[in-house]
Structure 1
Amino acid sequence: MILIKIFQFIILYIVSFFLRYFIGINKKILLFSTQGGRTYEGNAKYLFIYFSLYTDYECIWITKNKNINNQINNEGFKSLYFFSWEPLILSLKANCIFITHSLSDVMPVFYNKKSIIINIWHAIPIKHISFLDKNLNYKARVLDFWRDKRCNFFISNSQRFNDYYLKSFKINKKKLIVGGLPRIDFLKNPIIFINNLQNPFQKNKTVYLYAPTFRDYPYNNPFYKSKFLITLEKYLNENNALLYIKNHPFDTSIPDLNQYLNMQFLGNLIDIYELLPFVDKIICDYSSIIYDFKIAYPEKDIYLFCPDMEKYEKKRGFVNSFREFYNNETVPYLQKLRKVNKQSTFFSNENIYSNKNLSCETIIKLINKNIQK
């Protein structure tokens, strides 16, 4: 299977290298995808929906998943299945291509030299990313270097983070645009993206969501130990609350919750951002979700569960003084949970998110400006 995939990629790169010289740019075509075409979520998803609804561009999502392809088309938007000739031709005609992880998010091709490629990234970093992530292997570093050199723009969440992005990506200052995150636009005002978004949770209950991040090492999560779950179940029952658990997309483990009436496992594929507007309190660790939740819902409570902080810091490292924040701006709550101080300077909106306008509108202006050149 891996050899077949490699062969397909090689063919696409060879064909596109020569074909791109004979195909002209269509200024109306915009392509979107994320995580190598495997999922439909995050910044790329919400930017795609916004552009599709509020501009006259021809917006197309490229996916390797047939179910996602059908879902998007059934919702009235346009999606194409990756394994066909049409996405290849469109990837060479597109005026603009939006990615979040790698150049092959949309298609593994040599894009037209006139195409504008914009990296809207997928998170506000708490842990080190890209070239500052010491777990990144040689192949990934080469691909990231190629991505950074080819991209025309990188969308930053805040002026304060720009220095960090310049260190972690091989880009220059001219490519950095403080434009915010489309998924923050969605969290603040879901109805402009999905006008019939339904609350999936039981009514008249306080909803907790536990969303741990991915580890680069084997991790037997203490959260799922029976002693901790029994204590948590009692707390939930006494406080008329429910706990839902959403794993990271790369985490395929399934906790055993059969004996707990107030807990439910949601898997790892559901789009967490369509859940967050209905969540009352979130439990997390080193995931950027805590930034997003704080920006969108400053009045809601955030709890941290970080029993492996020392190991995680050693293996991955933190962008800012996360340990200091954890020790000084959180208080013990239930067992190993710690509650974040709502006035924490670590979560100051001015520091982590300096875009005051809709991120989607900022990116629209960027595209329109560069098309006119």
Structure 2
Amino acid sequence: MAQIEDLNDFQLFRACGPLYPAFAIESLTSILLGVFFCYLALRITVRTDVNAPVLATYRWVVDSTSEPLNFWWKEMKTWPEMNKRSLADRIKLCRLLNLAMCIAQAAAAFFSVLRWLHISNVNGLRYLGYAFTCALMQAELVVLIAPYVPCYKFNVVGVVIFTHVWLVLGWVGSLQSGFLFEDSSWESFVENYDFEVLIVTNKGLLIAATAVGLCGLMLVQMPFLSLIYFIKGGCKAHPDLPYYYMRLMMTVWFTWPAFPAWWLVSAEGLGLLADAKSNSVGFAILNCISKGSFTYYMLKTGADHKKRWAKPQGDASKPVEANWMVRNLKSYDSQGVLNVKAEHSLAEGVKDEPENAEQTWV
């Protein structure tokens, strides 16, 4: 007991890594318990009026979600054509990519509660969420100026795979125990500041590969896209170039380096900040700032293009159909369903039913 009390938060964080199977099994049993009682509640609700309630519920869920999913997938399949499409189409695709990014980050956050990928007490779902969402952010930056990007298809596929790979390497590096350098070589370096004495560990090599990948995006890929944007006249109002493009770039330039910086001082990195409780808090705040600001300027980009280059009122064009979510939420917006029904009742001279009217919900 005395040995445990002598450990700081960072040391406990690593020492409790072998408890991962116990946490995972506890989460799994909780999920199974919840599913079982949801089934009982479903059986009580439908009684014997539905022969196969589980299958019927599954079909209901599939039918409810198939429309938005089919629409999203149909639009995603048009990405190879974006270098021939208008800016409005490219913004639409990027908005859907942004939607996938936000949903993926939300799913990673919620499923992290189960601790199913907390191997060695390192949140693997957070890294996989980064690998997916950051790759989509880089793809959006290419798609927005697709007609002017050389080797457009290769550029999109390459930057997505590249971003995904180096973030997965960051996760693998975080799983390694110990320091980035061998302890003896690090002590010698601190005394003499001689880089030749440093001996890099496997963890150090993986983290170095991740750092090289980040630098490649920040110092090569993104400046390359920015240069194309300015050469093609993006510094002025342009009907085929997004006005807020450089602000999207800036949100990545100024927020992404904060993630490895926080990792270095946190319990997953060098352990300079021994309070392991602040580890997830810091990453959560950085996520909200980075992806929140990126989404904000993505929405501003679409609104600005619509405002600047909208077609005249007399121009015949196909009306824009409201999406699945808008159609379902519209009746609940502002006044709500109950107020809408009340207005119809008053207009038709129909009195509302008494509040204590008998209901047969179950």
Asked if these proteins are the same fold (TM beyond 0.5), I'd say no
Structure whose alpha-carbon radius of gyration is higher: 2
State TM-score, norm by structure 1.
0.23
What's the TM-score, normalizing by structure 2?
0.24
Structure with the bigger percentage of strand:
1
